[in-house]
Amino acid sequence: MSYAIIRNEKYKRDNLKGIYRHNERKNTNYSNKNIDKTRTYLNYAIKQSNNSYEKEFDRLKEQNNLKGQIKDVSNIVCEYIITSDIDFFRNIGLEETKRYFQESYNFVCEYKGLGEENILSANIHLDEETPHMHLTFIPVVSSIDKKGNEIRKVACSEFWKERDSYRILQDNYYNYITSKGFDLQRGQPSETKHISMEDYKKATNFHKVKDLTDIQIKQPSIKDISQIKKITIDRDTKIEDEIITPLKAQNSILKEQNIKLVKELTKVENIVNKADMCVLENKELNKKNRELKLENKTLRKENHKLYDILDTAKDIILTICRWVARKLNLTIDRTIDTIEIENNICIEPSEQIQKQKYEKELEQEIEM
């Protein structure tokens, strides 16, 4: 059974640059050999810091009106590393892995009334052996100032003031994450001792090896002390032939298979990402298509109205022309011709539009 794992680390201001460059993958090379840079593109953030952690701390402190006396030796930022073992993540798959980290993020927002507004960043690393989340936050507590006003202040020691604060953290995290449907165990009491982050990451990346208890080497009976050297050589040869050599061969095969699997998984991941993008693009195109259809329908209605207006205007103009023709004792055609010539217009709207278009094109040619 796998364990629900959450560990905390405290940092002073001078430490923030280093953890920022690691968490946000800003370095070119890493001393941590577990980082596979060909898989770094798989990493993602639930909350992204657009600044360095020092600047983001200053920004959030001002934005959230956080009080508290901060000295050079003060711990001003904490970092949770949240994970389990590799078998757990392999069994639940990528989508449930993402949900695991999202639910863990939600837990941190609620725990001790911290609030999402005091989280600097939450980065999920999938380019190491075991998926894990680095969640950095400002340890903020509620308090009362000297004037009796309620305030929120940066106070790491008060945030972790309980004697067994880490045990309480792990108990609460275990209860929360298992209530979300993840089949995990609470760590054993011996595991609650707080260790450094580097040592803990090494522990969670521990590889299981095949049980070799089926290979037995019998202890020979020694009658003559001169035989010890020969027996020792025979023993070493047997160990080399029956244990070490087969293991080396098996490791070589497993390594090749692992490389192939990583390549195939990368291809599948790329295909899935492209498929997701296609689905999103298709939804967007369908939305635009619906909008264009609605716009086209509206334009058709407006077009019909304009045609009605033009027809009405045309009837009115012809009525006026007939009235003028009767008054001047002229034919209707003669009257229309006279009006068009003297005013340089066309009574027919479509002809007038064509005439104006032609005149505009002619003016443009002359200007050129």
Q: What is the CATH number of the domain that holds 46?
A: 3.30.930.30
Q: What is the DSSP string of 310-361?
A: HHHHHHHHHHHHHHHHHHHT--HHHHHHHHHHHHT--SSHHHHHHHHHHHHH
Judge whether 339 lies within some domain.
yes
Which band of pLDDT confidence, cut at 50, 70 and 90, is reported for residue 205? very low
pLDDT of residue 52: 94
Q: For residues 132 and 218, what is the distance between their CA atoms, to the nearest angstrom?
A: 45
Pair (51, 178) in one structural domain: yes
- Is 102 within 8 Å of 182 (Cβ atoms)? no
Query: Which residue range is the domain that position 116 belongs to?
Result: 5-204
Pair (289, 200) in one structural domain: no
Pair (168, 66) in one structural domain: yes
pLDDT (average), residues 176-201: 69
Q: Would you state the structure tokens that stand for residue 334, as one six-digit string?
A: 């003669």
What total of structural domains would you count in the chain? 2
Domain endpoint, select from 204, 229, 254: 204
Q: For residues 118 and 63, what is the distance between their CA atoms, to the nearest angstrom?
A: 10
pLDDT of residue 116: 95
Domain endpoint, select from 204, 233, 248: 204
Residue partners of 176: CB distance under 8 A and separation at least 6: 103, 107
Pair (154, 298) in one structural domain: no
90-145 pLDDT, tens digit per residue, is 999 999 999 999 999 999 999 999 999 999 999 999 999 899 999 999 999 999 98
Judge whether 12 lies within some domain.
yes
pLDDT of residue 91: 94
Q: For residues 288 and 282, what is the distance between their CA atoms, to the nearest angstrom?
A: 10
DSSP H stretches of helix in the chain: 16-23, 53-63, 86-110, 156-159, 165-179, 197-204, 228-239, 245-328, 332-343, 349-367
pLDDT of residue 190: 43
Judge whether 289 lies within some domain.
yes
Domain endpoint, select from 204, 228, 252: 204
Which band of pLDDT confidence, cut at 50, 70 and 90, is reported for residue 230? low
Pair (185, 299) in one structural domain: no
pLDDT (average), residues 322-336: 86
Average pLDDT over all residues of the chain = 84
pLDDT (average), residues 59-74: 92
Pair (85, 183) in one structural domain: yes
For residue 192, CA distances in Å to 50, 83, 171, 186 come to: 34, 15, 10, 10
Judge whether 360 lies within some domain.
yes
Pair (154, 49) in one structural domain: yes
Judge whether 257 lies within some domain.
no
pLDDT at 50 over 80: yes
pLDDT at 60 over 60: yes
pLDDT at 191 over 80: no
Pair (295, 198) in one structural domain: no
Pair (103, 197) in one structural domain: yes
More confident residue, 263 or 175: 175
Judge whether 34 lies within some domain.
yes
Which band of pLDDT confidence, cut at 50, 70 and 90, is reported for residue 229? low
Pair (175, 61) in one structural domain: yes
Judge whether 190 lies within some domain.
yes
Q: Would you state the structure tokens that stand for residue 359, as one six-digit string?
A: 């005149």
Judge whether 148 lies within some domain.
yes
